[in-house]
Amino acid sequence: MNQLEKQLNKYFGYPTFRPGQKEIIEDILNGKHVFATLPTGSGKSICYQLPSMMIDGKVIVVTPLLSLMEDQVKQLKKRGFKQAVAINSFNTTVERQSILNQLDAYQLIYLSPEMLQNKYVITKLKRLTISLFVIDEAHCISQWGHEFRPDYLKLNQAIERLGEPTILALTATATPDVQKDIINHFSRTKFTKHIYPIDRDNISLIVEQLNHRSEKDAYLINLFQKWSVPTIIYFTSRKEAERVSTMLGEKFSQLSVSYYHGELETSERLLIQEQFMENQIDIICATSAFGMGIDKQNIRLVIHYHIPTQLESLIQEIGRAGRDQLSSVSISLIAPNDDILPRRLIETELPSTEMVESLFASLLHIQQSETTISLNQAFIHNHWPINEVQRRFIQDYFAENDLMTQDGRIELHKIIPQIKHDLIKRVEQRSRYKLGKLDELFQWLTTKECRRQALYQSFQSTVREAKYHCCDQCGFTLEQWSPEYGKRGRELKSWQAQLQSILLPFESGGTGHE
């Protein structure tokens, strides 16, 4: 066992690396900038967590997934690595101030991209020696990535301010075009690329064509009469997640069923996550807010009661099954008119033409008496209802076109009619792109060819042979499935083992390989 394997075993309890991990870590430790694609659930976080325990300088991890930060910090502390911390909107003002005042005490610092736009945070970070800057979910850099985040476009400025440390850019869902877009964004950086297949050979795929919502309910009832395995059921609607959770809970008293969505209190969401991790909840009925960064090894079923808006989201959500490499299944339930919800969701993510027209009319009117105005004030003045996603889309457009002051106010003298036309054009372009992605997903749902081949063909040229069963188009049915439960996510230990894990955490091995 060489030095890296010894460190892996010491901190995480694994004798060997998964494909790609060791090569990525070796390049990072040698000071090379790395761009890597690894499948969801394949252990991407080991690629920066282990180096953070071995190098002298600090490691910054930028991720939009707040639940991932919280879960990874908690799991690292359980393993005995106390020098990890997350700075995000979950912190109270007092907590954040306390963390920033003693930032030098931490080795691994998780941040949301928005936090890196905070001058005070950057000032505190500049006092540290940053050795590694990790960009998780790197597809957010590309405007053609499925979760484009304009704050990601500003990361190269933050990297420059922090002394240009080694960069590790990681993603699980980037087409070759998106990969090129990400690398081009850091034009001055020479990346060593590690591109690994993102298909998961232990997950079998089924699409069930049904006629009505009631048939979906009946399908689930029939399914859980036969199998009681750790399961996530995904919904677009919060109300439907709650309804189906209640229905299954009443039907199966022996199973613990819960629901999860973004409207729950933060403390409630964190409690539900923890209970699912500890095998106290069997079935989670959830919106897409659940599962990002949840490193539960033994999820056997991922079911889509509703369909997301693009293949990339489907691939990420499917990838939460079978992280222990045992046989697991993805089931997508489809009924007529199932495209209505995702189309409506796309509409609510973008401002309408009427909204933009009305906003600019207000701005031109306010121009006569004011020099600057905040976007929030402009919409209050405008009396036009707008959600947070639409507001951010407009704000990011203004910022990108240098129409805002340093403190985020619109410079009214720069507002001319051409800008309105350009913004409407941007909305239309983005809408076409998103609707095209939805059409691509429905083409996959209705394909008559091998589903595994069709699902990953945009991302890689070949797909590995299925480890257990392939898909319904290749003859797989649930009757052929014999799920193994594998190791429980958090096994009970003897009091001696528990005491040892507290006193000598790195001598007792770890859990999880994510």
CATH of 350-436, picked from 1.20.272, 1.10.10, 3.30.70, 1.10.150, is 1.10.10
Among candidates 131, 137, 162, 167, which has minimal Cα distance to 53? 131
Q: Which residues contact 4 (CB under 8 A, 6 or more apart)?
A: 17, 22, 25, 26, 50
User: What ranges do the domains of the chain cover?
Assistant: 3-196+498-507, 203-342+463-488, 350-436
Report residue 448's pLDDT band, with 50, 70 and 90 as the boundaries.
Answer: very high
Q: pLDDT tens-digit profile of 340-364? A: 999 998 888 888 898 888 888 888 8
Could you tell me the pLDDT band of residue 384, with boundaries at 50, 70 and 90?
low
pLDDT digits (tens, 9 = 90+) for 471-513: 999 999 999 998 886 443 334 444 455 455 545 544 444 434 4
Strand ranges (E), 238-388: 257-260, 283-286, 301-304, 328-334, 372-374
Residue carrying structure tokens 């528990």: 498
**Which secondary-structure segment (H or E) carries 90?**
none
CATH of domain 3-196+498-507: 3.40.50.300
The set of residues, in sequence order, having a beta carbon less than 8 Å from that of 21 and lying 6+ positions away, is 43, 46, 47
Instruction: Give mean pLDDT, residues 279-297.
Output: 82
Pick one of 3.40.1190.20, 3.40.50.300, 1.10.10.10, 2.90.10.10 as the CATH number of 203-342+463-488.
3.40.50.300
Of 450, 375, 364, nearest to 413 by C-alpha is 364
Handedness of CA 490, 493, 495, 499 (dihedral sign): negative
Residue 383, pLDDT > 80, answer no
pLDDT digits (tens, 9 = 90+) for 199-238: 889 999 999 999 999 999 999 999 999 988 999 999 999 9
Contact 54, 42 (CB under 8 A): no
Higher per-residue confidence, 65 vs 412: 412
Q: What is the reported pLDDT for 291?
A: 67
Pair of tokens at residue 399: 């910022």
Equal CATH topology for 3-196+498-507 and 350-436:
no
The pLDDT mean for the chain works out to 85
The DSSP bridge pattern shows strands 257-260 and 283-286 to be parallel
- Statement: the pTM of the whole predicted model exceeds 0.75: yes
Predicted confidence band of residue 380 (pLDDT cuts 50, 70, 90): low
Q: What is the mean pLDDT of residues 388-416?
A: 83
